[in-house]
Structure 1
Amino acid sequence: MAAAPILQRRLGLFQSTVLNMIDMVGIGPFVTLPIVMGLMGGMFLYAWIAGALLSLVDAMIWSELGAAYPLAGGSYNFLKEAYGKNGMGRLMSFLYVWQTVIQAPLVAASAAIGFSQYLGYLIHLQDWQAKAVSGAVIIFITFLLYRKIDSIGKIGVLLWTGVLLTLGWIIIGGIAHGNFLQPLKNINTDFSWGQLVSFVFGQACVKTVYSYLGYYNVCHLGGEIKDPGKNIPRSMFISVIGIAVLYLAMNMSVGSVIPWQEIKYWQDNGLNNFVVSTFLERLYGPTAAKVGTIMILWVALASLFAVMLGYSRVPYAAAVDGAFFKVFGKLHPTKNFPYVSLLVLAALAFIFSLSFKMKHIIDGILAMRIMVQFIGQAAGVVLLRKRNGTENLPFKMPLYPLPVVLAIAMWLFIFYATGFTIILSFLLVFGSGLVVYFLMAKIKKQWPFVS
C-alpha cells in the first residue's frame, strides 16, 4: 500500500524570505500611498514608520512561536498549543481557521481588485470589466499554484525579481530627481502630537499595516521550511526591515516629485488612482509610465501568489488535526499540496473580488485578524512561557515581555481605528464561528462538552 502524501521541507532561508517579501509587497503600497498622504499630509512618513515598528514588534512574537512549532498552518498550531489542545485551544484555533476562510480570500481579492484598478491606467475599464479582470486574476494565480512545492519556490524567486526591479526603479527615479530628502525635511512642518494619537492617524496606520502584512507567511509554510528554528525568525526580520526601507524610500521618492498637497487634492476629489504611474510619467514620459504600470501589475500578481500559497495550508492543517471540516485535509495524490483548501479559498476570493470595493476590504482584513490571531497569539506566548519555560525555545524574543505589551496595545489601537461598521462585521463572523464550533463540539463531545 502506497504511503500517504506528506508535506516536504524544501524551502530554505532565501526562498522563505522571497515568499514573505512578495506577500508583503503586493498592490498594497501603491494603492495606500496616496490614501495615507491624503490623511496625514506632510506627516505621512510617520504612519509608515509606525507600521514598520508594529510589524517588527509583532514579528518577535511570530518568530518565537514559529520556531517552536514549525508546522503547516501557523497560527492554528500556536493558538492550539497556547490555550490547550484539549481545552480552550480547540475553540481559539477553530475560530482562527474560521476567520481565515473569510479573511484570506479578502486578502486575495484586495490584490486582484488592486490589479484591475492599476490596469485602468493602461486600458479604460468599465465597472463590469474591472470585476471580470479581478476574477480572471484569481483563476490565473490558482493555476500557477496547482503544482509541487519545488516548482513554487522557483516561481516565487522569479516573481520576487520583478518586485525588486519595480521598487528599485521608483526609488532610483526619486533619487535622480534631486529632491529625494525633501519629504523627510518637511516631516515636522505641520507636526502635532494630537494628530499622532488621533483616529485619523489610526486610519492611516490601518493602511500602512495592511501594506506590511505578510511578514509571517513563512509560519504558514512551517512544515515545508528547512531548519525552521533558525530560518523562520531570520526570514521574518529580514523581510520586515528590508521592506520597511523600501517603503520609506518609495514614499520619499514619490513625495519628492509630486507634492503631498497635490496628492491630497486628488484623494479628496477622486481624481487620480494611479499616483505611482503618474510619478513615472512626470519623470520619464508616458511610455515609461506604461512600462512601470505593467511592473506594478507584476508585483500584484506576485503578492497574490504568495498569499494564496501560505493561507491554503491553514484549513488543511486544521482538517488533518481533526479540528476542521475533513475535506480540507486532502493532499493532491501526485503533487502533494492541499488542493481542496486552495480551491475553496480561490473560489471565495473570486466571489469577493466581484462583490467588494478596495476601501472596505482593507479595513475588514485587519479587523478579522486582530482579536483572535494577533492579540490571541501575544497572550499565548505568555501562557506558553509560564507552562513550558524557555530552555527549549529555538528563538527567544528580546526584551520580553515588552514586545508583548506593545503589540497588544498597538493592535487594540488599530482595531479601534477600523471603525464601527467594520468592527460589527468582525463580530458577526466571530459570532457565527462560535455557533458552528459549539454545535460541532456538542456532536463530537469535545471541549467544553467532554463527557
Structure 2
Amino acid sequence: MSSPTRSNGPGAGVLPQPGLERKIGPLQATAMNMTQMCGIGPFVTIPAMVATMGGPQAMFGWIIGAIIALADGLIWAELGAAMPGAGGTYLYLREAFQYRTGRLMPFLFAWSAVLSIPLIMSTGIIGLVQYLGYLVPGVVDENGTTGLGHVIGIGVVVLIVLALFRRIGQISKLTTVLFGVMLFAVLAVIVAAFSHFSGSQAFDFTPGAFSFSGGAFWAGLGAGLIIAIYDYLGYNTTAYLGAEVKKPGKTLPRSIILSILGIMSLYFVMQVGVLGSVPIEQIKSATSVASLVLEQAWGISAAKVFTVFIVIAAVGSVFAGLLGGSRVPFEAARDKLFLPVFARLHPKLHLPTAGVLTMGVITAVGSLFTLTDVINAAVATLVIIQSVAQVAAIVVLRRRQPNLLRPYRQWLYPVPTIIALAGWLYIYYSASRLSMGLSIGWIVIGILAFLVYAKAEHTWPFGPKDVRENFVGGADTNRTEGAQA
C-alpha cells in the first residue's frame, strides 16, 4: 500500500465554505440550540419519564441526563471552536481518524446522520400532533395518532421545509422569534403548575425508590436517561452551522454551554411543577400533560390558547434541527464522499437544497411511527457513530494535532470526556435490543457502501490515505477574532 500523502500548515488552512455566510451571532446561536433542544420534547416525554422511573424520583433523571449532556457539550465546544465549518461531527471525525482509517469514519457519520437527525426531528412532529389532538377532535384517539393526524403531520413538515428556503440571516432572526415562543410556552406551564402546587405530592417519592437492591429509580434509570438525553439533544445545532457563525471561537462554546444549563433549569423546574400539580396516575396516562396543567390552573379556554404556543414551539424545534442537519451531507458531498447533488447550494438563497429536501422527506416518514420507537432508534444510531466516536476524536486530535488552534480547551480535561463516554455507553446498553440491532445493521451496510466507494476512488483501504490537516496553521479571521474577544 502506498504511504499517506500529507498536507498541512498555512497552505492548508480552514477549508473555504463557498456561498455560506457568517450571519449567526451569539444570541441567535444560543436561541437556535435552545429552540432545537426544547421544542415539544418535555411536553410529551414527562409522562414517559415518570412512568419509566416509577414516580416523582424522575426529576433526578433530568439532572443526571444534564450532566452527561454537559460533559459531551464540552467536547463539542472544543472541537467546534477549533474547526468551525459546516457539518460539525463530520469535520471532527474526518480530521481525527484520517491517519488510520482514511475517510471511513466521516463517511459513516454522514451515512448515519442522514437517518438519525431527521428521525429525531420526526419525534417533534409526533408530539406536535399529540398536542393538536387537544385542540382538534379526530387528530388522536385512544389508539394514538389517526390518519388525519398523520396527514396534518406531513403537511407541517412541508411547511417547515418551505420556511427553510430563505437566507441564513433571515432564518436566524426567525429562529430567535421561535425561541421566544418556546420560552413563553415553557414559562406559562411552569407558572400554571406552581399556581396550585403541592410540595408533599411533588416529593412523595416511591418507598424504597433509591434502594440499590432493586429500587424504582435505579431500575428505570437507563430507560429514563434515553428519554432525558433525547430531550437535551440539540445543544450542538450551531456546531453544524460553524461556517455560518460569527466569531465561532467564542460563540460556539458559549452557545453550547449556556443552552444546556438553561434548558436543564427549565426542565427540572417544569418536571417538579407538573408533579406537584397533577396526580401521578394522570401524569402517566396523559398525552398532552402541559395542556392538562394549564386547564386545571386557568380553564380550558386559556389552556387551548397556550397549547397553540406549545405547537409553535414544536415547529421551531424541527425547523432548527433540519437547518443544522442539512449541512452534514453538504460538507460530505463537497469532500466527494456523498452524492454530488448534496454539494449544490441554492443559487440565490445559498442553502444546501438537496440536504433540506432529503431530511424533510425522512422526517415526514418517521412521523408515521410511534414516539418511543423513533426515540430509541434515533438515539441508538446517534450514540454508536457520533457520540462515542467524538470522545475518541478529541483524544486523538490532542495527540495528533497539538498545534491545532484551540480558542476553547475543555475544562478539567479528560474528566468530562470520561464522564461522557461512560454515560453514552450506559445509554446505548439501555436501548431496546431491536434499536441496537438496527443501528449496528445500518452501520454494517454503511461500511459496505464505503468499501464500494473506496474501491471506485482508489482510496484507503484500496489506495493511499490522503492526510490533510485542514485546520492546522490556517488563518481563519473569524476564528482568531473569537479567541481574542
Verify same fold: TM over 0.5.
Answer: yes
Q: Does 1:241 align with 2:255?
A: no
1:48-447 equivalences under 5 Å are: 48-84=62-98, 87-125=100-138, 127-179=146-198, 183-184=202-203, 186=205, 190-193=209-212, 194-195=214-215, 198=218, 200-264=220-284, 266=285, 272-354=286-368, 356-389=369-402, 392-447=405-460
Gaps of 5+ in 2: 1-15, 140-145, 465-485
The DSSP-based 3-state class of the residue aligned with 1:177 is coil
Query: 1:278-307, CA deviations, whole angstroms, 9 ceiling, x for partnerless residues?
Result: 111111111111112111101100101100
Quote the residue 2:3 is aligned against.
none
Deviation at 1:170, TM superposition (A): 1.2
2:56 corresponds to 1:42: yes
Q: 1:423 to 1:444 in 2, by over 3 A?
A: same
Q: How far does residue 239 in structure 1 lie from its aligned partner after superposition?
A: 0.1
Report sequence identity in percent.
36
Amino acid at match of 1:30: F
Cross-structure match for 1:13: 26
Aligned to 1:450: 463
Counterpart AA for 2:194: I
Equivalent pair of 2:17/2:86 in contact (CA under 8 Å): no
* Alpha-carbon spacing, 1:89–1:42, altered in 2? closer, same or farther (3 Å): farther
1: CA distance between counterparts of 2:439 and 2:455? Answer: 24
- For 1:136-182, what per-residue CA distance to the aligned partner results, in whole angstroms no more than 9, with x for missing partners? 11100001101110110111111111011111111122233243685
The answer to whether the 8 A contact 1:65-1:78 is kept is yes
Alignment partners' CA distance in 2, 1:226 and 1:4? 14
The equivalent residue for 1:31 is: 44
Distance 1:394 1:348, change over 3 A: same
Per the TM alignment, residue 253 of structure 1 is displaced from its structure 2 partner at its CA by: 1.1
Distance 2:215 2:104 in 1: 39
With over 3 angstroms needed to count, the CA separation of the structure-2 counterparts of 1:10 and 1:255, relative to structure 1, is same
Q: Structure 1 residues 187, 225: CA separation in 2 closer, same or farther (over 3 Å shift)?
A: farther
What is the alpha-carbon distance in structure 2 between the residues aligned to residue 51 and residue 203 of structure 1? 11
Unpaired runs of 5+ residues, structure 1, are 267-271
Contact 2:240 2:325 (C-alpha < 8 Å) held by counterparts:
yes
> Structure 2 vs 1, CA of residues 197 and 415 (structure 1 numbering), >3 Å: closer, same or farther?
farther
- Cα distance in 2, alignment partners of residues 196 and 329 from structure 1: 49
Q: AA paired with 2:332?
A: A
Contact 1:108 1:138 in 2 (8 A): no
Aligned residues: 441
Kept in 2: contact 1:109–1:134 (CA 8 A): no
Residues 387, 166 of structure 1: CA spacing in aligned structure 2 closer, same or farther, 3 A cutoff? same
Change (3 A) 1:121 1:417: same
Q: Write the letter of the residue equivalent to 2:161.
A: T
> Partner letter of residue 244 of structure 1?
M
Which structure has greater helix proportion? 1
> Conserved in 2, the CA contact under 8 Å of 1:42 and 1:190?
no
CA contact (8 A) 1:56 1:240 kept: yes
Secondary structure of the corresponding residue to residue 120 of structure 1: helix
